[in-house]
Structure 1
Amino acid sequence: MSTGHNPLTSTPITTDILRGALELERTAHGVLPQRLPAWARAQNTDPQLAMAEAQPSGVRLAFRTRATVVELDALPTKRVYVGAPPRPDGVYDLLIDGHPAGRAVVTGGNTLTIDMAAGTAEQTPGPPGTVRFGDLPEGVKDIEIWLPHNEATELVALRTDAPVEPIRDRGRPVWLHHGSSISHGSDAASPTTTWPALAAGLGGVELINLGFGGSALLDPFTARTMRDTPADLLSVKIGINLVNTDLMRLRAFTPAVHGFLDTIREGHPTTPLLVVSPILCPIHENTPGPSAPDFSGTAEGRLKFLASGDPAERAAGKLTLNVIRDELARIVEQRSARDPNLHHLDGRELYGEADYARLPLPDELHPDAATHRLMGERFAERAFTPNCLAVPAP
């Protein structure tokens, strides 16, 4: 019998029906999924990381129901960059039994106005909005609503026209990944089409995405978070943020990588762990950071980045992508003698020179939607194999 005309009832939004977040923070409006625990957030003083980790990349509501109507009230925080083209609204992806079944946006919400040149940010409050998915197939089904990967999203209320229950363990391995804005999903078309989400779908794994825009900086609290988070497969993608923030020199980089891996291994001594070096980024292959925004094309709706360092400074220990790739390969080779479950992947296998010629980075830093798909497919092919992050047979 159809449930389409039943009244909508509310279901509390709890960790039982939320995946990909490490904590739910109670707010004045509802709950805010957080991808770092409170103790780790308390150790952070960087507003960029605070903003990035609260954007729910990889976070999704997941439940089983007979409902044919689902409504979600949410309060997004939308970003506006002074002098840059307008950003599209964050996307909510609906999956039914693992298959794409709808896409929507929430209007309204808070507005965070960021002036990159002045280094300032100002937030203006706004009202919540509603995502509605109707005319869903009848019968019992698994529903996932993937939250916008690039928009902080407070969850206010979930309503359905039939009862909701958590999806019990599907027996899939948990893949815990850490990386930069590329792993976070910058410029992907939607939350299920970031390269980690695509790779997870192809690999049949449950994703926990600790990709933080501008903030893959070997922070010890991130390593401890990974140490303490149950997972069957682990990966860390290291490099671009250390160059484009010009945060450290080679002398600090090498022991920091060792320390990061040591900390992860304290909680996951034998779990398959993959170290991924940077994808191709021509502006920083041999030129150190920091990166700087190039506003010269904003009148035409284009924002690009350029490298403001001097290649001659490599001799003083400044980092470039090629320096980092060589050092990561050396570190993994050294450590793998006593850690056979540690593996290395050159990021240029995911996106290299031939790919740049065909699919250039639109802003010289971030891949576009087509490149996210390419990277997800290639990561799944290379990583989820018996020789690397082996996924157990079902």
Structure 2
Amino acid sequence: MPTTPTPTTPYAWITTPLTAALVRGAQDLERTPRGLLPHRLPAWARAQCADPQLLMAESQPSGVRLVFRTRATAVELDTLATKRVYAGAPPRPDGVYDLLVDGRPAGAASVSGGDTLEIDLTTGSAELRSGPVGTVRFTGLPGHAKDVEIWLPHNETTELVALRTDAPVEPAPDRGRKVWLHHGSSISHGSDAATPTTTWPALAASLGGVELINLGLGGSALLDPFTARTLRDTPADLISLKLGINLVNADLMRLRAFGPAVHGFLDTVREGHPDTPLLVVSPILCPIHEDTPGPSAPDFAALSSGRLRFRACGDPAERAQGKLTLNVIREELARIVRERAAADQNLHLLDGRDLYGAADFAELPLPDGLHPDAAAHRRIGERFAELAFGPGAPFAASAS
């Protein structure tokens, strides 16, 4: 079993118990033999679906951060990460921990060690290898009382083992910011973003001055009823739902099922948030699936040369049998929102191509055919902040 490293620095460390009072952005905190594991879906929801992709995605703490107030000049956090490795593909960089002091970037670091999950995309098999606990350390912080945030890696399952500081810690007070609850696919989760505070939802939240709860679930924005009920039961002042790409990726349903499923999802969310501003966001541009149905699959020819790329496996002619494409989904979402908005003045639509469209693809193409890179994440976040939180936008009045 991994062991907790012994601190070797000269600081007079104070160890603070890791509790829910110090964690934001998580739906559930699971006590493990080694520490505290944040989850972005509650235990009852996880129990309703044993899909490995979903369970991996929801346990990766996108948007989850430790938040506390302290005069400490040094902070150490022991963690045990689960790092993904794809057989035949280039190694992924270690996840990043972002430090904010009084809301401003103050450092970034990574943690070595941890468990490794090696995934073979050709067979679908996965092997987990155990590794040691690691330590992320930030020093040289200002000595005055301040709010400290440590954003956990958005793409690594992360168990929190121990928190040490050289001054006492207390939970940060509520600063009165509105809570924005967002649900989406791996793009919202943060695939290929550089750091946890530069995923597009984190950037948009910072620009909009709101508290983020990110339910972007890589590969798993599939209109699942348990996700809708999680959204329904989560306190929030603003809600957005970015829907579409995963339904094409997975070739999960046909047009006949899609419309009623969207209605049911919205009905469930509205049970808990009848008057909350609710923004439905259609897919960003993804050329391989604009008019070609799924499923998506790795391009094994590219994988053999050390590149991870995806391709569309459907036939455009299958649209006649109700197979979904991104253009079909955009049209259907626009129709549904238009019809429902007649009786729901707080329901709005944002075309995802206004966040990332043809001109953006020409300048910042999707490196693997599906996911925006770090520069595109920044562009999408800035545009969402303008189109959702800006003057006259759906979230403008409620976010202030």
TM-score interval, smaller chain: over 0.9
* Residue of structure 2 aligned with 1:247, choices 249, 252, 255: 252
Matched, 1:388 2:394: yes
SS of 2:46 mapped into structure 1: helix
In structure 2, relative to structure 1, the CA distance for the partners of 1:81 and 1:391 (3 Å cut) is: farther
Matched, 1:165 2:160: no
Letter in 1 for 2:395: L
The CA distance in 2 between the partners of 1:113 and 1:96, in whole Å, is: 35
In structure 2, relative to structure 1, the CA distance for the partners of 1:391 and 1:204 (3 Å cut) is: farther
In structure 2, relative to structure 1, the CA distance for the partners of 1:91 and 1:393 (3 Å cut) is: closer
The CA distance in 1 between the partners of 2:229 and 2:67, in whole Å, is: 27
Matched, 1:306 2:311: yes
Matched, 1:327 2:329: no
SS of 1:176 mapped into structure 2: strand
Matched, 1:185 2:190: yes
Q: How far is the alpha carbon of 1:255 from its aligned partner?
A: 0.3
Q: Map of 1:151-300 to 2, 5 A cutoff?
A: 151-298=156-303, 300=305
User: For this pair of structures, how many residues does the alignment match?
Assistant: 391
Matched, 1:30 2:35: yes
Q: Deviations over 1:283-327 (max 9, x none)?
A: 000000001101323465421111010000000000000000000
SS of 2:143 mapped into structure 1: coil
In structure 2, relative to structure 1, the CA distance for the partners of 1:392 and 1:337 (3 Å cut) is: closer
Matched, 1:338 2:343: yes
8 Å CA contact 2:203–2:382 kept in 1: the answer is yes
Provide structure 2 residue ranges, at least 5 long, that are not aligned to the other structure: 1-8
Q: Map of 1:58-77 to 2, 5 A cutoff?
A: 58-77=63-82
Letter in 2 for 1:114: I
Q: CA RMSD in A?
A: 1.2
The CA distance in 2 between the partners of 1:210 and 1:351, in whole Å, is: 20
The CA distance in 1 between the partners of 2:229 and 2:13, in whole Å, is: 42
Q: Map of 1:122-161 to 2, 5 A cutoff?
A: 122-161=127-166
SS of 2:131 mapped into structure 1: coil
8 Å CA contact 2:241–2:279 kept in 1: the answer is yes
The CA distance in 2 between the partners of 1:278 and 1:213, in whole Å, is: 14
Q: Deviations over 1:117-152 (max 9, x none)?
A: 211111111111000001111111111000000000
SS of 1:306 mapped into structure 2: strand
Letter in 1 for 2:204: A
Q: How far is the alpha carbon of 1:5 from its aligned partner?
A: 6.4
The CA distance in 1 between the partners of 2:20 and 2:378, in whole Å, is: 29
The CA distance in 1 between the partners of 2:23 and 2:263, in whole Å, is: 33
The CA distance in 2 between the partners of 1:35 and 1:356, in whole Å, is: 31
Q: Aligned residue for 2:51?
A: 46
8 Å CA contact 1:173–1:391 kept in 2: the answer is no
SS of 2:248 mapped into structure 1: helix
The CA distance in 2 between the partners of 1:79 and 1:213, in whole Å, is: 13
SS of 1:136 mapped into structure 2: coil
SS of 2:396 mapped into structure 1: coil
Q: Aligned residue for 2:98?
A: 93
Scaled by the length of structure 1, what TM-score is found?
0.97
Letter in 1 for 2:65: R
Letter in 2 for 1:216: A
8 Å CA contact 2:389–2:399 kept in 1: the answer is no
Bigger mean CA offset, 16-25 vs 300-309: 300-309
In structure 2, relative to structure 1, the CA distance for the partners of 1:94 and 1:286 (3 Å cut) is: same
